Amino acid sequence: MENLTPDERFEQLKLNLPPAPAPLGVYKPCLVDGKYLYLSGHGPVQDDKSLIIGRIGSDLNQEEGKLAALQVGLTMLSTIKANLGSLNKVKRVIKVLGMVNCTPDFEKHPFIINGCSELFAKVWGEENGIGVRSAVGFGSLPDNIPVEIEALFELF
């Protein structure tokens, strides 16, 4: 997959993109500023537009949480494609902030956010698909979603 474009790499993964979510508040899902693309916090939107819900450590286990973070990554890719037309317009991932809705004793936040980070590494390659990252736990997230992620990308 070395010489493939990000769009071609994504096609080879045989994953579905859910519909790009519309904002439910006063914000933009994405904003281009010069050569940077900012994505607002995204949740795990499924193909039928429903959300994965539940708290990790009580309602969902670690593996289910990681899959929810993968779904957030797919939702973010959907927003990129809907607004820019192609994943190929993204040069690299700069920063990812992963927020995990979890019980107070849960400590594996980075493992959960790897669901999204591993997807980005597959789409843009190890060099450009892995940026700096924070993974933190929260007592709650909107609509009781297990994961919310925002990111900053550099564009070509």
**Residue ranges of domains in the chain:** 53-156
Average pLDDT over all residues of the chain: 97
pLDDT digits (tens, 9 = 90+) for 30-54: 999 999 999 999 999 999 999 999 9
Q: Average pLDDT in the 128-133 region?
A: 98
| pLDDT above 70 for 81 | yes
Q: What percent of the chain has pLDDT over 90?
A: 97
Residue the block writes with tokens 């289910």: 64
pTM of the model: 0.97
User: Tell me, what's the pLDDT at 24?
Assistant: 85
CB-based burial label for 43 (10 Å; 0-12, 13-18, 19+): buried
Residue the block writes with tokens 């990000």: 6
CATH topology of domain 53-156: 60s Ribosomal Protein L30; Chain: A; (3.30.1330)
Q: Are 65 and 103 in contact (CB under 8 A)?
A: no
Q: How far apart are the first and last CA of the chain?
A: 20
Of 128, 122, 48, 32, the residue nearest 83 (C-alpha): 32
User: Tell me, what's the pLDDT at 154?
Assistant: 98
User: Tell me, what's the pLDDT at 1?
Assistant: 60
What is the C-alpha to C-alpha distance for residues 87 and 13, in angstroms, rounded to an integer? Answer: 14
What is the C-alpha to C-alpha distance for residues 116 and 55, in angstroms, rounded to an integer? Answer: 17
